[in-house]
Structure 1
Amino acid sequence: MTSRGSTLLGAAFAVGAVVLLSGCGPSTGGDAKPATPTSTRPSLAEGVPRSYNPCNDIPQSVLDSEKLGMKIVANNDGDGGVEWRGCGWVRPNGYAVSIRTTNLTVDLIRSRNFAEATEFTIAGRRAISTLQFDGPHIKEACTVNVEMKGGSLEFSLINPPSNRDTGSTDSCVLARALAEKVVPSLPATA
């Protein structure tokens, strides 16, 4: 793997971890305050959905159509019980993406009030795209979460403008288009 490919893939995995660092309101005297009252705040699902394994269940034809290669296992356990299970891929001269199941629900992602949150449906499932980074490069990374029983399927995509093949395309457009190809492979019971 090239150094650039490793860097892009590592950055894509970091997108999912950003969710862990967001969602709490301001701190007062060292005591973190929830962004919303706990009685109305969506909760984290018990565990990662196990009915779909992105590393094995994404059709090869989808990966080939997106020119995705260099698969790397991208399992993470975060603070507060957040879990991700799946893999990451890199498109040469293009974007890097991690596709993982997580116990973060669409409702919980919506409650975090990330920038440019857009709700839509894919194959009859609720979905949301968000920009989860702050700063000058916020639009280079987009996260799409698609509803599953017990969490969501998360697409964390990073697409710097310097990428020859995809750099001129909005990262959320790419993430949503990829999700629309992958989600039909989810079992109906997932």
Structure 2
Amino acid sequence: MLVSGCNSSGEAKGNTSSASATPTIAADVPAGFDACKDIPQSVIQQEQLIKPTPDITDRPGGYKWRGCDWVQRGGDGYAVTIDTTNITLAMVRTNSQFTVTEESNVAGRAALIYRPSDDKTDQHENCILIVDMRGGSLEVSVTNPPSAKLTASQHSCDIAKRLGERIVPAIPATL
């Protein structure tokens, strides 16, 4: 199953369960979309995202994340990690340590919102959205604390979906 860990901003990056069969993991994250460089400039400007910090995370079992951590202008809003990962939607669905809270489509691609099953934090504050890509997914992980002056009134999953809707059209259709 998935391996546990956290990226540099502390979001959960999967958990392990021992004996269950799981879909085969790709050797690397999907190639052809760089979650740091290929996010449209219009999204960066509209969302006032600054200070991209590379997020390069490898976990035992070959699980990988490649992308960037971003914060909103002045640190008065949400923080987000936008990664490509070799974890698929099927892997999340079949992992008993995750709870899928919503399945939908984002810009025409299958997507889901999930959380670690043992996570007791308010999903209003933290949300993980993954969007299907060939060989993995795009992961948008939002942290929107109550202290965020610009965005505290917004649900973190609404922010994640909005970002997904704006970013996914930049992903080549072949991915």
Bin the TM-score by the shorter chain: 0.7 to 0.9
Q: Quote the Cα distance in structure 2 between the aligned partners of 1:169 and 1:111.
A: 30
Residue of structure 2 aligned with 1:118, choices 93, 96, 102? 102
Q: Quote the Cα distance in structure 2 between the aligned partners of 1:120 and 1:136.
A: 22
Q: Quote the Cα distance in structure 2 between the aligned partners of 1:44 and 1:184.
A: 25
Residue of structure 2 aligned with 1:48, choices 20, 29, 45? 29
Say which SS state the counterpart of residue 11 (structure 2) adopts: helix
Q: Quote the Cα distance in structure 2 between the aligned partners of 1:16 and 1:83.
A: 13
1:110-149 map, 5 Å: 110-113=93-96, 114-132=98-116, 134-149=119-134
Q: Quote the Cα distance in structure 2 between the aligned partners of 1:93 and 1:87.
A: 19
Q: Percent identity?
A: 39
Residue of structure 2 aligned with 1:94, choices 77, 80, 84? 77
TM-score (norm 1): 0.80
1:58-77 map, 5 Å: 58-77=39-58
**Structure 2 segments unaligned to the other structure (5+ residues):** 1-6
Cα distance, 1:10 vs structure 2: 4.0
User: Contact 1:141/1:171 (CA < 8 Å) preserved in 2?
Assistant: yes
Q: Quote the Cα distance in structure 1 between the aligned partners of 2:152 and 2:99.
A: 20
User: Runs in 1 of length 4+ with deviation above 3 angstroms?
Assistant: 136-139
Q: 1:143 to 1:57 in 2, by over 3 A?
A: same
2:11 matched residue in structure 1: 15
Q: Considering only aligned residues, what root-mean-square deviation do their CA atoms show, in Å?
A: 1.8
Aligned length: 165
Bigger Cα Rg:
1
1:164-175 map, 5 Å: 164-175=149-160
Name the structure with the higher helix share. Answer: 1
1:57 equivalent to 2:38? Answer yes
1:27 matched residue in structure 2: none
Cα distance, 1:135 vs structure 2: 2.5
1:15-34 map, 5 Å: 15-17=11-13, 19=14, 22-24=15-17, 33-34=18-19
